[in-house]
């Protein structure tokens, strides 16, 4: 693997890595390792946005199922309480 001599953002600095997404040479300051892979700032931002967007539907399903479970449990408790109160009178 051959690196260009200088960072794409800082021409006065030597390149330390290549962005594994776009191949841009980056210096130590510009390179960020995420999940063991070097990325430039632009590609890392895109990667994180796509990763966060993939989890959003799962979180929505979990919240809806939890709300449905609480609604079902509270209706059972109300039925038991009505039966109990009716038995007292």
pLDDT tens profile 45-87: 888 887 766 566 788 889 999 999 999 999 999 999 999 888 8
Overall number of domains in the chain: 1
pLDDT-derived band at 1 (thresholds 50, 70, 90) equals very low
Q: Is residue 55 part of a domain?
A: yes
**Domain enclosing residue 43, as ranges:** 17-88
DSSP state of 39: E
In angstroms, rounded to a whole number, what is the distance separating the alpha carbons of residues 68 and 65? 5
Q: Is residue 8 part of a domain?
A: no
Tell me, yes or no, whether 84 lies in a domain: yes
**82 in a structural domain:** yes
In a domain, 58, yes or no: yes
Instruction: Tell whether 74 is covered by a domain.
Output: yes
What pLDDT sits at residue 54? 58
**Domain assignment present for 27:** yes
Q: First-to-last CA distance in the chain?
A: 86
Mean pLDDT within 21-36: 90
Asked if residue 4 is part of any domain, the answer here is no
- Whether residue 17 has pLDDT greater than 80: yes
pTM of the complete model: 0.50
pLDDT score recorded for residue 19: 92
The DSSP call for residue 32 is: E
């Amino acid at each position: 693997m051959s690196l260009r001599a200088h960072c794409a953002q800082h021409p006065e600095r030597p390149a330390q890595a290549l962005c594994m997404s776009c191949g841009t040479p980056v210096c130590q300051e510009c390179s960020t390792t995420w999940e063991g892979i070097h990325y430039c700032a632009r590609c890392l931002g895109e990667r994180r946005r796509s990763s966060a967007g993939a989890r959003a539907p799962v979180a929505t399903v979990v919240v809806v199922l939890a709300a449905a479970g609480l609604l079902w449990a509270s209706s059972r408790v109300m039925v038991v309480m009505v039966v109990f109160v009716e038995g007292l009178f």
